[in-house]
A = this chain, B = another copy of it.
Amino acid sequence: MKIALYQGPGLINDPAGSFLLLAEKASQAALEGADLLILPEMFLSGYNIGPDNALKHAVTPEGLAPAQDIAAAQKIALAFGYPELVGDKVANSAVLIGPDGGILLNYRKSHLFGDLDRAMFKAVGTEFPVAELGGFKIGLLICYDIEFPEPARRLALAGADIILIPTAQMQPYEQVARHVLPARAYENQVYTAYANHSGDDDGLSYVGLSSICGPDGTVLAMAGLGEDMLFAEFSLDHQKAVRAADPFFTDRRPALYGPIASY
């Protein structure tokens, strides 16, 4: 499977423009032979837009039809973040759309980040779903989720081979991009793709540094500070070899881990 990752500033408070940008980037990735394109957190509306705009632009997954059409037209899977309307609440969500346009996964950020997230979103998500694509099992997390070891571990225990992480990672948190992502890939023996914004956004300065990592913790591709598109190949055979060489999931001792789920 060939994966593409788009890092860019995106468009703020402009879902119609964002769908056009999505079509452009999907076309570009498909031309390069990519099977899957991942884009940042809240790609559809911009991230730092405040609660009123988050609610204004929030849609149910049915509102993602233009993205489903793009995926089907370009025969490429798409993963990106958007404000999801859940009843009268807004969730910080991410979707994985298959190359036939069908929605494969919808994930709601379970770990909200500070006042920024909490002003806009409710943590209505409690599920860590996994779906299959091209022989790989894929899970989604969003930004701050990956800074905790537990959500990625849950996905790996549910069989995930790939974890896709749309993000909006700002200064001063470069350690996450530089060290936490390779560590998550290594410890869970999964592929990771961490797609960040670039540029500034109403006082936030994004660190860029989007990355794609392999199941042995190798950084396969990493962006700099600015707009970029990354590519990498994912191999099930390589992943199987890594897992056979170091059987982390056999060597775990879950009977010792009770307190992690208790407090």
Known: A149-B149, A248-B148, A263-B157. A186 touches B179 (CB 8 A): yes
Interface assignment of A150: CB less than 8 Å from any CB of chain B: yes
Q: Which of A2-10, A21-29, A249-257 contacts B (4 or more CB under 8 A)?
A: A249-257
- Return the contact of A153 from the options B144, B180, B186, B260 (Cβ within 8 A): B260
Question: When the two chains form their complex, are residues A217 and B175 in contact, meaning their CB atoms are under 8 A apart?
Answer: yes
Known: A261-B260, A261-B261. A148 touches B254 (CB 8 A): no
Separation in Å of the A142 CB from the closest CB of chain B?
14
Copies of this chain present: 2
Distance, CA A253 to CA B252, complexed state (A): 21
Separation in Å of the A111 CB from the closest CB of chain B?
6
Interface assignment of A87: CB less than 8 Å from any CB of chain B: no
Interface assignment of A218: CB less than 8 Å from any CB of chain B: yes
Render A108-143 as a binary contact track against B, CB cut-off 8 A, 1 for contact: 001111000000000100101000000000000000
Question: When the two chains form their complex, are residues B260 and A257 in contact, meaning their CB atoms are under 8 A apart?
Answer: yes
Render A194-213 as a binary contact track against B, CB cut-off 8 A, 1 for contact: 00000000000000000000
Separation in Å of the A253 CB from the closest CB of chain B?
6
Residues of chain B lying within 8 A (CB to CB) of residue A147: 186-187, 248
Residues of chain B lying within 8 A (CB to CB) of residue A187: 147-149, 180
Separation in Å of the A49 CB from the closest CB of chain B?
22
Chain B residue nearest in CB terms to A263: B254
Distance, CA A216 to CA B149, complexed state (A): 15
Distance, CA A175 to CA B180, complexed state (A): 11
Separation in Å of the A188 CB from the closest CB of chain B?
9
Interface assignment of A104: CB less than 8 Å from any CB of chain B: no
Distance, CA A157 to CA B148, complexed state (A): 13
Distance, CA A22 to CA B256, complexed state (A): 33
Question: When the two chains form their complex, are residues A154 and B251 in contact, meaning their CB atoms are under 8 A apart?
Answer: no
Interface assignment of A182: CB less than 8 Å from any CB of chain B: yes
Question: When the two chains form their complex, are residues A150 and B111 in contact, meaning their CB atoms are under 8 A apart?
Answer: no
Question: When the two chains form their complex, are residues A258 and B259 in contact, meaning their CB atoms are under 8 A apart?
Answer: no
Chain B residue nearest in CB terms to A247: B114
Question: When the two chains form their complex, are residues A257 and B252 in contact, meaning their CB atoms are under 8 A apart?
Answer: no
